[in-house]
Structure 1
Amino acid sequence: MSKTNVVVIMADQLRADMLGEDTPNITQIANEGVKFNRAYCASPLCVPARGAFFTGKYPNINGSLINPWFSLDAHHGDVNKDVPNLYRMMEREWDSWHAGKQHLYTEGGKMENDPNSKTNWIATSATYDKYLKDHNKQRPGGPNFRGRVAEMTLGKFTRVKDYSIPKTGCYKEGFDTFFDGYFANSAVKAIRKRDKSKPLLLNAMFLAPHPPLDIPEPWYSMYKEVDVPENVGKWNADQSPLQMYNLTGILGSRYTREDWKDIWPVYKGLVSLLDHCVGMIIDELKVQGIYDETLIIFTSDHGEMLGSHSLWQKMCMYEESVRIPLLMKFPSGVDCKGKEIDEVVSAVDVLPTLCEYLKIEPPKDLSGVSLMTAIAEEPIDREMIYIQFDGNGARGNFQRCAIMENYKLIIDIFKDEVFLELYDLGEDVGEQNNLIFEKKYRSIIINMVDRIREHMKNTEDMLEVSANVYEDFLENYSQLRVK
């Protein structure tokens, strides 16, 4: 076997700032490889985030913009049929296995239902549901873990939809029956059952720490108190009010800082459960004698607000929602152990990196760049990365964002309203000081707005942002500021 084994481990809704001493297995991957300290998703939502990750192309380019939960808008969740993805690129030469949540949607249906797929879909949400039914077990969560919110559909109409709330509970069925216990056991089984005549490709997609926060012992009771960041339970004066039209604000603003102090320990317990699952995969790779020759990538599709800015879930452009962990442990022989990289990188960079390292012909017109350049301690030839949000289960709430060095510009759009935010991430870690009204940043703001508009045009964005959006915003909102 001449090719490298590849294991991609993806969490769901994991805050990058939750990793450390209490996640020893994930930290082991960082210590034995490369840690990208400023990695960002391409969209703070499950389906388009994964579409971008697995294709190396921004959502506008690959076609996947939303979670396809509403039939009339569902086609906006699919990656276009002619866009290559990691599975299809690698499954001919690698023994490809998938265990876990499958939220990469492609034209024509879910990939696991494609009769031409050469991937072994050993565990998905559908097989998990069957497992629960066959063993007469209860699914975690339930109606008490969901709340009703208003949601735009087709960008025009309002419907009522149930979404997860930060309610906590102890899942009595135990680890093996829990989402991630089932997925972790399946991932271990995949490693054991692999075709040893080929290199292994394993995509282990965990649900944790995505809600419901209904988790088994000992993780439910593992943490009694957790120090929460200063911005938790705090709505800032110049924060976009349009977030109150999105479930992030509708649900998140219902909870006080004291409420969040009770919720955080359970979320952290779920992160520790995730770390345990990662440890199971690492241990089995070692048992099989292939750990040292395996490239391991650990990341998350996006983050979680968890009360920061008084918001819940993701679907916004603050650091807690869009910054993701990105760790790469290379096979022995690659000199990068313990390396940390502070350049701004994107989830769309992972596929080009794999292509370069594994010597795979890259697809045309990738949005990302290979991170092998950064690993070699050379600067990446790129000024900005872009992030977009087009609504949750249907198109309706829109945000566009650019990050350039330490500056982040956010354009928040709901119907005919636009609200702008600018943050200096070097000076304002919690993004509590919106600089958009300060005249000394005018040239930076105009430049970044122009670059976002150019990016939107080049990627054939379905939205348009006016060339006068900054001046119009100042005229409309300066007199409405809360002093």
Structure 2
Amino acid sequence: MKKKTTNRFYQHLLFFCLIGIALSCKEKETASQERARPNVLVVLTDQWRAQATGYAGDPNISTPHLDRLAAESVNFKNAVSGMPVCSPFRASLLTGQRPLTHGVFMNDVQLDTNAVTLAKVFNKAGYDTGYIGKWHLDGHGRLQNVAPGKRRQGFQFWKGNECTHNYNHSVYYDNDDPERKIWEGYDTFGQTDAAIEYISERKPSKNPFMIILSYGTPHAPYHTAPEEYRRRFDPEKIQLRDNVPDSLKARARKDLAGYYAHIAAIDDMIGKIIANLKESGQYENTLILFTSDHGDLLGSHGAYKKQQPYEEAARVPMLFRIPESLKIAPGERNALMNSEDLMPTLLGLCDIAIPNTVEGINYRPYMEGKEEIGDATLLTCVQPFGQWNKVQHGGREYRALKTRQYTYARDLEGPWLLFDNQKDPYQLNNLVGNEAYADLQEELDRQLTARLKETGDEFLPGMTYIEKWGYPVDETGTVPYTH
């Protein structure tokens, strides 16, 4: 009897041990799956036009680190900034919504602190989230602290500023510390080091990370990169685009030399980040998105900076370096990915449910070859008073349809621009009113009308939207660029 009892005891003990081992294995498997979720690094630049990289064929600049990244990435070579201005793009990146939905259709206004944002969704999915660098979504005045809490839109770690372009005396705030700090030296370097430190500290964590590293460069002022980079570019040797008028050529060459110096510095920093990811063993499981909030005309079409529907302002670099485990082949893609598509695509690549507030497209199925989408997209300008979209420079309020071949824009008076971007890559020949293209113009106008109806855009005068959102208007009848 005693022997039978002893046997039963050991049988029960073995049974419970097996259960314990099974549960332990399950826990380890679950933890392993959590760790297998990719880290996400978003490298966001300011005013970097799509044409200005080595891999895009710019004869003036060498970007070896970006070129290597591009060779490993899905390259959306036709990607656009749907409203080519800083704050609208950033709000669309964080919300997956178009500007007339989230309300940030101009600079220096605040994104609704109750918005469903990228950081909030990643937090809920168990990620650590961080933000470093230029924010430009708070609307409480430049150089001011974006106070901890709801105004940081869900980001847990913070080393940022609302907006500054003084790259050698650059303000930032460190997490919960209310004291204003200054990045030491050229801020692109300091921000890079801060991102590397953040990533390194996450390695022991069981949680994956999602961090946005937001550089202020290569946005003007163009001539403030470290001297070692400025020495590389002789204005006299800069090759201009064919659409820069004679009156601006000398200025454009000088400014482009400085612009490329900023780009060369960022390229080195991207190389530094990737080297650290590889050394720490985190590179293979890190999804890297490299992009910009808009481009820069830099003399093209007789204008500077952004906001207009031309290629130099509206097209942006867009690289997705995707871990091999997702089995998505690198290479160029033709789809016209837009600003609001970034949030759903990042979530889709991380197997995180996409909120129903999102208006953009999840491009993961397209990358996997399961869908054919992105044959056309919208470009929008609401501001009737744009600081760069000046009437004297040909600027105006517009809605535009961009396809893989054409750009067609309508202003408040009717058809404005029509370019065949394949035959006329510098957009020198406006085909609006050309009888030979009348049928094409009519068809593109019909498609634009359909897109506006689909997105609920009535294309009203800009001040109507200003009044709708309650933005302040000063004594001159315009919305102040800064408050």
Where on the TM-score scale, by shorter chain, does this alignment land: which range? 0.7 to 0.9
Equivalent in 87, 100, 121 of residue 60 of structure 1: 100
Contact 1:453–1:464 (8 Å) recurs in 2: no
Contact 1:45–1:389 (8 Å) recurs in 2: no
* Cα distance between partner residues in 2 of 1:27 and 1:112: 35
- Partner residue in 1 for 2:322: 330
- Partner residue in 2 for 1:431: 427
Deviations 1:297-347 (A, max 9, x none): 101111111111111001100000000110011113334454111222222
Equivalent in 326, 333, 347 of residue 341 of structure 1: 333
Deviations 1:275-301 (A, max 9, x none): 112122212212221011100010111
What is the Cα deviation at residue 88 of structure 1? 1.3
- Partner residue in 2 for 1:115: 149
* Cα distance between partner residues in 2 of 1:112 and 1:283: 31
1:30-429 equivalences in 2 (<5 Å): 30-68=70-108, 77-92=109-124, 93-105=126-138, 112-115=146-149, 119-125=155-161, 138=169, 176-194=184-202, 196-213=205-222, 214-224=224-234, 225-233=237-245, 256-364=248-356, 366-391=358-383, 392=386, 397-413=396-412, 420-429=416-425
Which blocks of at least 5 consecutive residues in structure 2 are unaligned? Answer: 1-34, 56-61, 172-181, 391-395, 462-483
Which blocks of at least 5 consecutive residues in structure 1 are unaligned? Answer: 69-76, 141-173, 235-254, 466-483
Aligned residues between the structures: 395
Letter of the aligned partner of 1:86 in structure 2? Answer: L
Contact 2:306–2:389 (8 Å) recurs in 1: no
- Partner residue in 1 for 2:476: none
Deviations 1:398-422 (A, max 9, x none): 2211112311111245xxx556000
Contact 1:47–1:105 (8 Å) recurs in 2: no
- Partner residue in 2 for 1:72: none
- Partner residue in 2 for 1:445: 441
Letter of the aligned partner of 1:79 in structure 2? Answer: L
Structure 1 pair 100/81, CA: closer, same or farther in 2 (3 Å)? Answer: closer
* Cα distance between partner residues in 1 of 2:339 and 2:131: 19
1:9-20 equivalences in 2 (<5 Å): 9-20=43-54
Structure 1 pair 99/175, CA: closer, same or farther in 2 (3 Å)? Answer: closer
* Cα distance between partner residues in 2 of 1:303 and 1:271: 13
What is the Cα deviation at residue 426 of structure 1? 1.3
Deviates more, 1:52-61 or 1:225-234: 225-234
Letter of the aligned partner of 2:417 in structure 1? Answer: E
Deviations 1:260-281 (A, max 9, x none): 2222221111110111121222
What is the Cα deviation at residue 197 of structure 1? 2.0
Structure 1 pair 271/56, CA: closer, same or farther in 2 (3 Å)? Answer: same
* Cα distance between partner residues in 2 of 1:368 and 1:206: 24
Q: Structure 1 residue 463 and structure 2 residue 471: aligned?
A: no
What is the Cα deviation at residue 378 of structure 1? 4.4
Contact 1:97–1:119 (8 Å) recurs in 2: yes
Deviations 1:167-226 (A, max 9, x none): xxxxxxx99512312221221221123362210111001111001112212111111222
Contact 2:304–2:388 (8 Å) recurs in 1: no
Structure 1 pair 115/297, CA: closer, same or farther in 2 (3 Å)? Answer: same
Bigger proportion of residues as strand: 1
Contact 1:66–1:394 (8 Å) recurs in 2: no
* Cα distance between partner residues in 2 of 1:442 and 1:99: 49
What is the Cα deviation at residue 395 of structure 1? 11
Structure 1 pair 15/58, CA: closer, same or farther in 2 (3 Å)? Answer: same
What is the Cα deviation at residue 36 of structure 1? 1.0
* Cα distance between partner residues in 2 of 1:337 and 1:379: 15
* Cα distance between partner residues in 2 of 1:2 and 1:379: 26
* Cα distance between partner residues in 1 of 2:389 and 2:120: 28
Which structure's relative contact order is higher, taking Cα pairs within 8 Å and 6+ residues apart? 1
- Partner residue in 2 for 1:163: none
Deviates more, 1:350-359 or 1:33-42: 350-359
What is the Cα deviation at residue 443 of structure 1? 2.9
Letter of the aligned partner of 1:201 in structure 2? Answer: M
Aligned residue for 2:325, secondary structure, equals: coil
* Cα distance between partner residues in 1 of 2:90 and 2:444: 26
Aligned residue for 1:289, secondary structure, equals: coil
What is the Cα deviation at residue 429 of structure 1? 0.4
Question: In terms of Rg, which structure is larger?
Answer: 2
Contact 2:136–2:162 (8 Å) recurs in 1: no
Contact 1:184–1:281 (8 Å) recurs in 2: yes
Output the aligned Cα RMSD: 3.1
Contact 1:98–1:204 (8 Å) recurs in 2: yes
* Cα distance between partner residues in 2 of 1:232 and 1:347: 27
Structure 1 pair 406/196, CA: closer, same or farther in 2 (3 Å)? Answer: same
Deviations 1:71-123 (A, max 9, x none): xxxxxx4434554221111123111111111123489x999524256524432
* Cα distance between partner residues in 1 of 2:309 and 2:163: 33
Letter of the aligned partner of 1:51 in structure 2? Answer: A
Contact 1:112–1:121 (8 Å) recurs in 2: no
Aligned residue for 1:408, secondary structure, equals: strand
* Cα distance between partner residues in 2 of 1:233 and 1:353: 39
Deviates more, 1:449-458 or 1:421-430: 449-458
Contact 1:104–1:111 (8 Å) recurs in 2: no
* Cα distance between partner residues in 2 of 1:80 and 1:448: 34
Letter of the aligned partner of 2:208 in structure 1? Answer: P
* Cα distance between partner residues in 2 of 1:128 and 1:265: 21
Structure 1 pair 330/348, CA: closer, same or farther in 2 (3 Å)? Answer: same
